[in-house]
Structure 1
Amino acid sequence: MENRVVVTGLGVCAPNGTGIPEFTSSLKQGSCGIRFHSELEKLKFGCQIAGKPNINNINLNNYFTNVQLRGLNASGMFYGVIAGKDAWENAGLSPLGSESPDWDSGVIFGTGILGVDKFREAIYQVDEGNVRRLGSTSVVQTMASGISAYLGGMLGCGNQVTTNSSACTTGTEAILMGYERIKSKKASRMLVGSCSDSGPYVWGGFDAMRILPRSFNDNPTKASRPLSETASGFVPGSGAGALVLESLESAKRRGAAIYGEIVGGAINSGGQRGGGTMTAPNNDAVVRCIQAAIKDAGVNADEIDVVNGHLTATTKDPMEIQNWCNALGRSGMDFPYINSFKGMFGHCLAAAGSIECVGTLLQFKENQVFGNVNCEDVHPEISKIIDTSRIPQATINFAPRIIAKASFGFGDVNACVIFKAFGQD
């Protein structure tokens, strides 16, 4: 028998809230965390707004020792450790104090690029012949697996500790990787999630591609417009989301609170064929991924109550809705409720899937479907295929039973996870 896998802990460090209480309140109210950044204006970015977590009032000594903080200059590391340690505590778990590691607990925490500011600093030091000034932490701050290594050591995890990277699919992929490990009885608990650095060295490439909005610099909270006719590109964001996954047997033994159950999922690639490219999805692959996830979960497409889409506020949003319709065999009034949280914090790149999965699971706890902000003018191509009542503008009271969440990333890669309200057998 395979293990059933449940979610027992959540943590988040997002542009619209750090910590579950603040983040939940923001999602319920539709509050936006996107702000103007003068640094981007000085650097002559076309898009001078972004979603960046505010950690100025966070006591970092609650997460790092003074030794660890010395020379630490990696925003994604800060975000990931805050979210990860909060999720562990939220699950009722404590860092191991003994010399022996916890062989049943592991970490899979993804990132796209980590420590880019530290890497820039290192390049200048090396070029100026100041190698000795790099400090002893430059390597762990700039290696992709630095985040999982930090968290694994802080918590004393002795099972698999690793980092994945698959562009904007990273967070959802990490969750499915942890799910599979517990399901196959190779671990009892896995801390999973993802993080993304913030700043011009991360966002500059997207600005150069001209896929970020340029006409909202004086009105940042209205800039991210998923599903909208007036969407003009995604707003870059950053942060981290974290989940503690656990076998149902372990969770029951501890008497842990359960946010929901993962009942299935799927990961695939369009191979950059059939219309798929480095930056655009193969639509057939997207449909196949969603359908494979539903099959793996052992549910019917008509049982899905809510979809949390990738929906980045680009010209691809109508096609994503069409892909969901094709995958589910549902349209019009028969389509599930659908939402995108990116209107509230932008597209957090490698952290997007994990942050959005945290928000997705909170809908079970709150017995609500959080609203879509900035899409009062639903794209006409979308309203042709699904009824606009399925796109709630504000939070509605509704107790979802099954939610599908998907992420699609550069490289034509896809991931879809199916969450179920616990106790809804």
Structure 2
Amino acid sequence: MTARVVITGLGVVSPIGIGVSAFWKAALSGRSGISAIDSFDPFPMDGYRSKIAGQIRDFSPELHIGSQHGDRVDRYAQFALAASREAIADASLRIEQEAPHRVGVIVGAGMGGMVMGEREITQLYQSQKPHRVHPNFIPVITLNSASGIVAMASGAKGPNLTISTACSSSAHALGQALQCIRTGQADVVIAVGADASITPLVFAGFCSLRALSSKFNDQPERASRPFDLARDGFVMGEGAGALIVESLAHAKKRKARIYAELSGYAATSEAYHMVIPREDGEEVATTMKLALKAADVSPSEVDYINAHATSTSIGDAVEAKAIRILFKNRADKIAISATKSLVGHTLGAAGAIGAIATTLAIQSGHIHPTANYDDPDPACRLGGISRSPQERKIRAALLNAFGFGSNNAAVVLKQFKA
């Protein structure tokens, strides 16, 4: 019999709030976390097509993680550690009372330690003094620095993995946490997604790719507009989300509060293009179908989809088409929301933050609105997308996440029933 797996703790660092309570209150109110980038010190924003992002302006490493770790890790790992600490506390998980090798850490990250990476390479070329490179440069910029620091800070000695599949990274981290528990490698997994790549080079790269919104630089809060006719690209964001995932048996044994059940996951590759999805939507539909099959959930039971919905012209239309392919005449009856409309696209953290919004929607019966859905694009019009909060009893929900390199992930969460 397949082991049941549940979610017992949540933690988040986001442009609309640090901490789950602040995040969820802002999300339900539809508040945007998108703002103008003042500058990339030491040069201004004049040369950039896009000048806005979902920035976290009030994060203090000393306050949220302490100076011991704050001085030794990149910004993205600081976010990961802060979110995981909140999730551990929220789950009332005392790792010192657990068998430490039965507690794992799986982190999804798209870019890694780019803040330090860009700073150090710039200083090296300017100074031409190799001996002045930061002594912790290598361990800090590696993609697994966040999973390492989370494990060291928490005492988790089980499987320690980093998944890097661009924008789908932390959805895969969550799916791999499910597999890790079902295959008996761990009782508990701290699943995290984190990225902090609002940096001069990364931002320039996305601008050169013409992937970012540039029409709303003077109205940042209006720029991220999934499924809307006026969308013109995604808005970069930063942040982290963490979920405590554990076997139902383990959760019951320690009398943990259960938010929702994590019941299915699918990972596929379109093997098509590094950036653009197949426009017929068939591969995205297949990914969702496989995830539902793995969860033993029929399409008729799905009441909510937390859409990938980045606010790109092709991507949103393809996802909407895929939803219609899979759900047919039920497509307009399913509630759909786009968390990226509020926080921007947080890259490797997007799946985890979306999973937190999905978990809270299942637990509370409230679904946050999709901001800036003012003029629905006929190419991706779906009846369940709303500018206002929705109340809905959710039996099962889908979380979609798609990444560069033709990479697709879908995760199924369900209302927990004992």
TM-score interval w.r.t. the shorter chain? over 0.9
Aligned partners of 2:317, 2:45: CA distance in 1, in Å? 35
Equivalence for 1:18: 18
Aligned partners of 1:9, 1:366: CA distance in 2, in Å? 15
Q: 1:45 to 1:125 in 2, by over 3 A?
A: closer
Q: Number of aligned residue pairs: give it.
A: 410
Q: 1:289 to 1:114 in 2, by over 3 A?
A: same
Equivalence for 2:144: 145
Is 2:402 the counterpart of 1:408?
A: yes
Say if 1:281 and 1:413, in contact at 8 Å, map to a contact too.
no
Equivalence for 1:296: 294
Secondary structure in structure 2 of the residue aligned to 1:330:
helix
**Greater CA drift, 195-204 or 131-140:** 131-140
How many Å apart are 1:209 and its aligned residue? 1.4
Output aligned runs, 1:9-408, within 5 Å: 9-39=9-39, 41-42=44-45, 44-56=47-59, 58=60, 60-64=62-66, 66-70=67-71, 72=73, 74-94=74-94, 96=96, 102-127=100-125, 128-199=127-198, 200-272=200-272, 277-282=273-278, 283-316=281-314, 317-331=316-330, 333=332, 335-383=333-381, 386-387=382-383, 390-408=384-402
Secondary structure in structure 1 of the residue aligned to 2:325:
helix
Q: 1:332 to 1:310 in 2, by over 3 A?
A: closer
How many Å apart are 1:320 and its aligned residue? 1.1
Say if 2:34 and 2:54, in contact at 8 Å, map to a contact too.
yes
Aligned partners of 2:70, 2:295: CA distance in 1, in Å? 42
Aligned partners of 1:300, 1:95: CA distance in 2, in Å? 36
User: What is the TM-score with the length of structure 2 in the denominator?
Assistant: 0.93
Say if 1:111 and 1:195, in contact at 8 Å, map to a contact too.
yes
Q: 1:54 to 1:95 in 2, by over 3 A?
A: farther
Secondary structure in structure 2 of the residue aligned to 1:262:
strand
In angstroms, what is the RMSD of aligned CA positions?
Answer: 1.9
1:286-344: CA deviation from partner (whole Å, max 9, x where unpaired): 111111111111111011001111111111212211111112233564x3111111111
Q: 1:101 to 1:122 in 2, by over 3 A?
A: farther
Q: 1:169 to 1:71 in 2, by over 3 A?
A: closer
Secondary structure in structure 2 of the residue aligned to 1:233:
coil
How many Å apart are 1:54 and its aligned residue? 2.8
How many Å apart are 1:382 and its aligned residue? 2.5
Aligned partners of 1:155, 1:402: CA distance in 2, in Å? 31
Letter in 1 for 2:402: F
Q: 1:122 to 1:101 in 2, by over 3 A?
A: farther
Say if 1:164 and 1:170, in contact at 8 Å, map to a contact too.
yes
Q: Show structure 1 runs of 5+ residues with no match.
A: none
Say if 1:291 and 1:328, in contact at 8 Å, map to a contact too.
no
1:186-241: CA deviation from partner (whole Å, max 9, x where unpaired): 11000012111132332221111122121211110011000101111111111111
How many Å apart are 1:133 and its aligned residue? 3.1
Q: 1:147 to 1:228 in 2, by over 3 A?
A: same
Aligned partners of 1:70, 1:240: CA distance in 2, in Å? 18
User: What is the TM-score with the length of structure 1 in the denominator?
Assistant: 0.92
Secondary structure in structure 1 of the residue aligned to 2:409:
strand
Letter in 2 for 1:409: G
Q: Percent identity?
A: 29
How many Å apart are 1:125 and its aligned residue? 4.8
Aligned partners of 1:332, 1:69: CA distance in 2, in Å? 46
